[in-house]
Amino acid sequence: MRYDKLSASLHATLDDLSTEIYVEDFQAADALGFDRGPMLASRAEFAPVTVERFMPDGTHRVDGLRVFLSCEADVSLEKLTALGVQIDRDVGQVRAATVPIAALDAVSESDLVRSITASVKLRPLMDFASTQVGLSDYVNREGRTGKGVVVGIVDTGIDTGHPAFAGRIDRIWDQTVLGQGVPEGSYGVEHHAPFASPPSDQQGHGTHVAGIAAGNDVDYCGVAPEATLVIVKTSFDNTQIASGVEYVFRVANDLGMPAVVNLSLGGHNDPHDGSDPLCLALDQSVGPGRIVCVSAGNEGDDAMHAARLIEADGDADFELQVHGTAPTVRVWFNSWYGLDDQMSVTVTGPNGGATPTQGVVPGNGAKSYQLSDGVVQVTTKAPGPDDLGHNVIVDIRPKLGLARVEPGMWTVTFHGDTVVNGEIHAWLMDDPDPNTEPTLFLQDTFGFRVGSPGAATQAITVGASVSRNTWESENTLGWRGLGSIGGVAAFSSPGPRRDGASKPDVLAPGSMIISARSTAWAVPEPNCIDPTHAAIQGTSMACPFATGLVALLLEGDPSLDPSSVRQKLVAAAQIPFVPTGTWTPEWGYGLVDARRL
């Protein structure tokens, strides 16, 4: 057997079939004093799809496995059929097949096959949660459903007609249309149940998120399926997000319920230290029975952050690669260095033109330069009274008459005029055209990718674990994502904050989660599961899992405050084979296991 060609889950299945169940893992767990239960549950959850046969004596046996075979795109696997292999999808570099157990050895030895990956069927969220993160054990033990708790979703809206939310949406504040608004903001329109003409959710994101946190669905049940939903369809302007959170808390207070608000959103225009107004406002809004959960962000595998350490009179370069495959219409460089340092900045375009060296400029701090490669505005304003550092912004736009920023390597050079700390952090953003290759740092720096409001001190900040990496959509047999099941999702933004504070707090399942599908959403093919469900991924999907858990905690104790909620979640979280309470930039304090709540 060529074990090196087998996926980890296939290894586990073979171990199962030979009853040598994870012996090494269990021995390691025993040595460290860990509970075997979560490992058993995890293994059951990730069990590959098998072909089983019922025997006359009432038992059943596994005859075959549904697998994906990696091979060259143009190769024929016809020879494998002689081994009893049934090729279910016979095109491309990855073929779907059913392999008899007895033939697995020979298939693995075949030169035609590069690797064999077990097919894992997507399951309802509640099933999934009940195994990987122990939700059903917790629910069975505590008998909680979120009843009497408000779950607030500040997002793209909700499909009020989706059966998963029937009778449980109390009201919606639609911030995106003109209207008289609500006490928390004199704009938008408030809708009360029953909804005669409710706003739609054309992006589908909010509906999906709400379904994970609190959907009541036979097939794909959410975490707190009897919670009361209060929805804010937001414009995503962060001042209005702050008002949306206030709205949810006020409505919950009117209803006499505790509340947890889900914010599956974020940005990178902030100092990444929790000192921006949205983070501070959230910190001030939460309290006993008022909790906010925030997604960490999806920039884990994007080269969008870089840090440099500079010495007095030294230089530090940040090299930005602007791609030329499609027009980039704007590049935005947001950087911060310490209050005690004084630095000056030069920007050099791909063809060598450079701005003058610019130190702190009085007044608004902004100066614009016409370079041969584009228009560059450099802002080096003196810190304001609330700033915990110097903020240097470089805004690169096309030259007059051109539609795109000159592609190539742009360099932002810092010079250390007075250096006490010397640390510089920078984050890159560009225009949102999905057809454009993102502008990235040539040499990025790990971590520091949790922006506002995930950086809020009092928020429960949630990263994503890989919960699925293959799935079947409505019209296509199989799709594949990246990452090892049970590990940190590559896209999950790692911390810490720029000031070193520990963010994210915990992880929850976040890859290809099946949940409610808005009817107004034009779902891309990979995400279609059936007419009322879609599978999408991101820390957006991990966050509502934690939100639902918090709703269950609040059902048991409505007076819990953010600190005590965090303590409970952290105590229930674990990084594999690392002592509880250990924090790392990617895992936070680990994947939440509801059994330990």
Partner 1 sequence: MKWSKLDARLATALGDDPDGADSYGRLNVFIRCRPGARKRAFDDLQKIVHSRVSKVGRDFVTASVGRDEVAELSEQPWVQSITLSSVLHPHGSDRSSDQFDAQTNMPNLQMRPPTSEIRPL
Residues 26-55 that bind partner 1 (CB under 8 A): none
* Closest-CA residue to 205 (of 254, 144, 158, 160): 158
Using CB under 8 A as the binding rule, the residues of this chain from 371 to 400 that contact partner 1 are 377, 379, 381-382, 384-387, 391-393, 395
Q: Applying CB under 8 A, does 474 fall inside the site for partner 1?
A: no
Residue 355 lies near partner 1 (rule: CB under 8 A): no
Establish if 15 lies at the interface with partner 1 (CB under 8 A): no
The one among 10, 126, 164, 265 contacting partner 1 by CB under 8 A: 265
Q: Which of 174, 217, 299, 555 binds partner 1 (CB under 8 A)?
A: 299
Q: Closest CB to partner 1 among 103 and 456?
A: 456
Residues in 490-529 that interact with partner 1 by CB under 8 A: 490-491, 521-522, 524, 526-527
Total residues at interface with partner 1 (CB under 8 A): 106
For position 364 contacting partner 1 by CB under 8 A, the verdict is yes
| The one among 240, 348, 413, 547 contacting partner 1 by CB under 8 A | 240
Of the pair 39, 535, the CB lying nearest partner 1 is at 535
Nearest to 346 by CA among 386, 382, 376: 376
| Contact residue for partner 1 among 174, 341, 373, 430 (CB under 8 A) | 430
Contact between 282 and partner 1 (CB under 8 A)?
A: yes
- Is there binding between residue 297 and partner 1 (CB under 8 A)? yes
Q: Report the residue from 100, 277, 338, 408 that binds partner 1 according to the rule CB under 8 A.
A: 277
Smallest distance from partner 1 to CB 74, Å: 16
Residues present in the chain in total: 597
Phi and psi angles of residue 547, each rounded to the nearest 5 degrees, phi first = -60, -45
- With contact defined as beta carbons under 8 Å apart, do 186 and 266 qualify? no
Phi and psi for 508 in degrees, rounded to 5? -145, 165
Cβ-count burial 342-372 (b if 16+ within 10 Å, e if not): bbbbbbbbbeebebeebebeeeebeeebebe
Measured between its terminal Cα atoms, the distance across the chain in Å is 42
Q: Is there a contact between 374 and 399 (Cβ–Cβ < 8 Å)?
A: yes
Question: Is 187 one of the binding residues for partner 1 (CB under 8 A)?
Answer: yes
- Residue 182 amino acid letter: V
Shortest separation between residue 231's beta carbon and partner 1, angstroms: 14
| 89 and 70 Cβ atoms separated by less than 8 Å | no
Residue with Cβ nearer partner 1 (204 or 590): 204
Alpha-carbon span 368 to 356, nearest angstrom: 10
Closest CA to 549 of 488, 591, 499: 591
DSSP for residue 158: -
**According to the binding rule CB under 8 A, does residue 318 interact with partner 1?**
no
Among 192, 482, 531, 556, binds partner 1 (CB under 8 A): 482
- Closest approach of Cβ 391 to partner 1, in Å? 4
For 418-486, give the DSSP string.
E-SS-EEEEEEEE---TTSPPPEESS--SS----TTTT-TTSEEEEEE---SEE--SS-S-EE--S-TT
Residues 533-552 that bind partner 1 (CB under 8 A): 536-541, 543
| 68 scored as a contact of partner 1 (CB under 8 A) | yes
Q: Does 337 bind partner 1 (CB under 8 A)?
A: no
| Shortest Cβ 303–partner 1 spacing (Å) | 11
Long-range contacts of 235-243 (CB under 8 A, 24+ apart): 235/175, 235/176, 236/265, 238/267, 238/277, 238/278, 238/452, 238/453, 239/278, 240/175, 240/185, 240/187, 241/154, 241/265, 241/278, 241/453, 242/277, 242/278, 242/281, 242/282, 242/285, 243/175, 243/184, 243/185
Residue-wise over 62-87: b if at least 16 C-beta within 10 A, else e?
Answer: eebbbbbbbbeeeeebeebeeebbeb
Establish if 588 lies at the interface with partner 1 (CB under 8 A).
Answer: no
Which residue among 281, 347, 412, 485 contacts partner 1 (CB under 8 A)? 281
Residue numbers 198-227 binding partner 1 by CB under 8 A: 202-205, 208-209
Is 185 one of the binding residues for partner 1 (CB under 8 A)? yes
Is 266 among the residues that bind partner 1 (CB under 8 A)? yes
Find, among 576, 506, 497, 564, the residue nearest to 295 by Cα: 506
Which of 50, 243 has the CB closer to partner 1?
243
Of 137 and 246, the one with the shorter C-beta distance to partner 1 is: 246
Q: Which stretch binds partner 1 (CB under 8 A): 2-10, 101-109, 189-197, 301-309?
A: 301-309
Rule CB under 8 A: is residue 330 a binding residue for partner 1?
yes
Q: Is the dihedral of CA 132, 137, 142, 147 positive or negative?
A: positive
Q: Which of 26, 195, 369, 479 binds partner 1 (CB under 8 A)?
A: 479
Give min distance, CB of 584 to partner 1, in A. Answer: 20
Q: Which is nearer to partner 1, 70 or 564 (CB)?
A: 70
In whole angstroms, the minimum distance from the beta carbon of 18 to partner 1 comes to 28
Q: CA Rg, the chain, in Å?
A: 26
Tell me the C-alpha distance between 537 and 516, whole Å. 13
Q: Which stretch binds partner 1 (CB under 8 A): 59-67, 410-418, 481-489, 553-561?
A: 481-489
Between residues 324 and 478, which has the closer beta carbon with respect to partner 1? 478
Pick the piece of the chain touching partner 1 (CB under 8 A) from 55-63, 162-170, 241-249, 558-566.
241-249
Of 17, 429, 528, 571, which one interacts with partner 1 (CB under 8 A)? 429
Q: Contact 416/314 with Cβ under 8 angstroms?
A: yes
Q: What's the Cα-to-Cα distance from 380 to each of 337, 377, 390, 411, 440, rounded to whole Å? A: 11, 10, 8, 16, 22
Applying CB under 8 A, the span of 19-27, 121-129, 429-437, 582-590 interacting with partner 1 comes to 429-437
In angstroms, what is the minimal distance from the CB of 490 to partner 1? 7
Distances (CA, A) of 309 to 236, 346, 351, 392, 415: 34, 17, 27, 16, 11
What single string gives the DSSP state of each residue in 523-587? Answer: --GGGEEETTEEEE-SHHHHHHHHHHHHHHHHHH-TT--HHHHHHHHHHTEE-TTS-TT--BTTT
Out of 283, 417, 423, 561, the residue judged to bind partner 1 by CB under 8 A: 283
State the nearest-atom distance from the C-beta of 507 to partner 1, in Å.
14
d(CA 526, CA 536): 9
Instruction: Give residues 89-148 in contact with partner 1 (rule: CB under 8 A).
Output: 89, 92, 94-96
Task: Say whether residue 179 binds partner 1 (CB under 8 A).
Answer: no
186 binds partner 1 (CB under 8 A): yes
Q: How far apart are CA 264 and CA 83, in angstroms?
A: 49
**Using rule CB under 8 A, residue 66 touches partner 1:** no
